Amino acid sequence: MIRALPCGVPSVRGLVAALLLVGCSTSSSSSSNTLNADATVSISPAAAPDIAPANALDPRIADRIPASFPESWRLPSAQTSTFAEHGMAVSNSALASDAANEMLKRGGNAVDAAVALGFALAVTWPEAGNIGGGGYMVLRLADGRTAALDYREVAPRAATRDMYLDEHGVLTDRSIVGHLASGVPGAVSGLARALAQHGTMSLREVMQPAIRLARDGFVVDSALASSIRGTERARGFEGARLFFPNGQPLTTGTRLVQPDLARTLEAIAAQGPAGFYTGWVADSLVAEMQRGGGIITLEDLSNYAPRERRPIHSTYRGFTLLAMPPSSSGGVTMAESLNILERWTQPAAAGSATSLHRVAASFQRAFIDRNSKLADPDFVPVPLEELIAKSYAQSLWNTIDPARATPTARVDSTMQALPREPMHTTHYSVVDRYGNAVSNTTTLNGSWGSGVWVRGAGFFLNNEMDDFAAQPGTPNMFGLVQGEQNAIQPGKRMLSAMSPTIVLDSAQQVLLVVGAAGGPTIITGTSQVILNVIDHRMTLADAMRAPRVHHQALPDSLTFEMGGFAPVVLDSLRAMGWSLRPQRALVNINAIMRVPGGWEGVYEPRRSGGAVGH
Ligand code: DON
């Protein structure tokens, strides 16, 4: 593995020039891993437009405008950026991004790399990277075809509408913690399907980095150590033996070896999805269920199949959005919000009260639809085309008072603010030299999933059942108040907010590959990176570090990142009637953007990760 700035180039100008002229093979930036001697790449993206473009770019893309944020804003410029000429992978784990880059350098395409990355994340980022959960993948292939793969978990056959209510009809926490909280995992089936359809390498080849990392181990870095320290849920279950040896969390610098997980990965590499959904791994999962009162059966596992969906195609100011359709709400809600915002012909200045008012009012309206009208389309009718129609956006735009917030219709909600559930979803973005792009989000849902670890097979299970309306009208873990259409039914997919997205420029070239973790803030955070790039013409580094806001209709409050907005802006918003709620950090995003001469990859500056390219 060649690491950051192998040519020792100090600036982005020099870096890209070196990549182009000297053929320097790899660049990367990674989280401040205290054990890793490699320096984090720190570059000034403002210099990037000076590089001669390799191909004609829309001037709106080539000519980025450096952004300015309040003095109080804590995130420095471009600290998590990497520039590369040919291909790039960005994720919350530098080791997993390296696995993807390994495939890219061997001539694999973005799908080969993404699948390698997905399995590696299950080893190196076990809080969210997974084989016991599910997710969504949006693809834009070099020949212009697009695809959307829904490998969301499904409710087991024995699931019932009221399975999480106690005898008094009160919602319990069993949709969040323990064996009953898991949907039937879709990750292995989804990754294998993507590879079989769009990859060029074998499952065995792309899984080698993951198997190596599990079998030989890797050194726990400060990010993983802090994630382990921060999880209480996993302590109560069998995985505690591995992650809390002698009752103490693994510390930075420890080597983490996962022999059981390595055996499971070997079984998948050898037999494909059958190695997970049948045979000894499936038997172990079902035995685990039976030990803890769970309901997933061998039949549930062998019946699991991903769904191939048609990606949402929407437009925003001449750019094309390829986004995830239901069973995720992500694409519809983003498209609806952006359609409303597009009604203003001129974007307001970034960070201004006018801009935040418009953004919040648009999110608020789109979330009202999201919470009441979206669900698994295989079970309930979903008015997808209506919701993303420009004419519908116009009718919603008409309801926005330019000077006043509109209260969300009052619904009894016990949630007063977004819960501080740690991030346990993860997004990765990959592009290759051939012109393919993959945007993938995967999750266990809550903190280390349900906490349940499959004995003998070495992986955590999701607690995705909480994404159903376990009791329609009652807020879930993310404060989302959802309706009957998302009630539990056997075989149904729970509504998601995951929003893997690809943005094309006016020449239909990939501009941006982006997506996030953070429950409902996934939708609003991903949208804001897109807005920052298109409306405010920010570099990707600035678009990612820019302070974020969130509104999800209920609770009826506008959450904002502390220190990111001028006090006078916040005063104006209050005067307009917004109920403001500060939060330290919102959303965990990993993105790649086309820049002159190649790609800029940026991992979440509020978290940790690695952007690795060649
Ligand atoms: O699918 C969803 O919308 C949720 N299960 C995502 C959860 C999440 O992003 C949690 N952490 N950041």
- Residues with a known catalytic role: 425
Give the model's pLDDT for residue 59.
Answer: 65
CA distance 13 to 45: 9
Taking CA atoms only, the protein residue closest to ligand 1 atom 8 is 519
Position 514 confidence tier, pLDDT thresholds 50, 70, 90: very high
CA 424 to ligand 1 center in whole angstroms: 7
Position 3 confidence tier, pLDDT thresholds 50, 70, 90: very low
Q: What is the pLDDT of residues 268-278, one digit of tens each?
A: 999 999 999 99
- pLDDT, average across residues 93-118: 98
The verdict on the CB of residue 309 being under 6 Å from ligand 1 is no
Q: What is the pLDDT of residues 60-89, one digit of tens each?
A: 667 888 899 999 999 988 789 999 999 999
The residues with which 184 forms a beta bridge, in sequence order, are 154
CA 516 to ligand 1 center in whole angstroms: 9
Give the model's pLDDT for residue 476.
Answer: 80
CA distance 416 to 556: 9
Q: Which two tokens stand for residue 147?
A: 């695809």
Of 143-152, 183-192, 234-243, 543-552, the one with minimum mean pLDDT is: 234-243
Closest approach atom of ligand 1 to CA 497: 3
Comparing CA positions, the residue from 479, 527, 161 lying closest to residue 323 is 527
Other C-beta atoms closer than 10 Å to the C-beta of 3 total 18
Comparing CA positions, the residue from 81, 94, 150 lying closest to residue 125 is 94
Taking CA atoms only, the protein residue closest to ligand 1 atom 1 is 496
Closest approach atom of ligand 1 to CA 446: 10
Q: What is the dihedral of CA 171, 293, 151, 133, to 10 degrees?
A: 90
Position 1 confidence tier, pLDDT thresholds 50, 70, 90: very low
Q: What predicted TM-score, i.e. pTM, was given to this entire model? A: 0.91
Give the model's pLDDT for residue 77.
Answer: 82
Contacts 24+ apart (CB under 8 A), 396-399: 396/336, 396/340, 396/362, 396/365, 396/366, 397/340, 397/343, 399/365
The verdict on the CB of residue 443 being under 6 Å from ligand 1 is yes
Q: What is the pLDDT of residues 106-163, one digit of tens each?
A: 999 999 999 999 999 999 999 999 999 999 999 999 999 999 999 999 999 999 999 9
- pLDDT, average across residues 345-357: 97
Place of tokens 């190695």: 275
CA 383 to ligand 1 center in whole angstroms: 23
| Predicted confidence (pLDDT) at residue 206 exceeds the cutoff of 80 | yes
- pLDDT, average across residues 384-396: 97
Comparing CA positions, the residue from 4, 8, 73, 82 lying closest to residue 48 is 82
Angle (CA) 116-301-228 rounded to 5° is: 55
Other C-beta atoms closer than 10 Å to the C-beta of 253 total 12
Cα–Cα distances in angstroms (integers) from residue 265 to residues 48, 133, 241, 430, 582, in the given order = 41, 15, 20, 22, 42
| Predicted confidence (pLDDT) at residue 517 exceeds the cutoff of 80 | yes
The verdict on the CB of residue 388 being under 6 Å from ligand 1 is no
Q: What is the pLDDT of residues 11-65, one digit of tens each?
A: 222 232 222 222 233 466 665 332 222 222 223 333 333 333 334 566 666 788 8
DSSP secondary structure letter of residue 453: B
Q: What is the pLDDT of residues 295-345, one digit of tens each?
A: 999 999 999 999 999 999 999 999 999 999 999 999 999 999 999 999 999
| Predicted confidence (pLDDT) at residue 291 exceeds the cutoff of 60 | yes
The verdict on the CB of residue 92 being under 6 Å from ligand 1 is no
**Percentage of the residues of the chain whose pLDDT score is greater than 70:** 87
| Predicted confidence (pLDDT) at residue 419 exceeds the cutoff of 60 | no
- pLDDT, average across residues 86-103: 98
- pLDDT, average across residues 568-586: 97
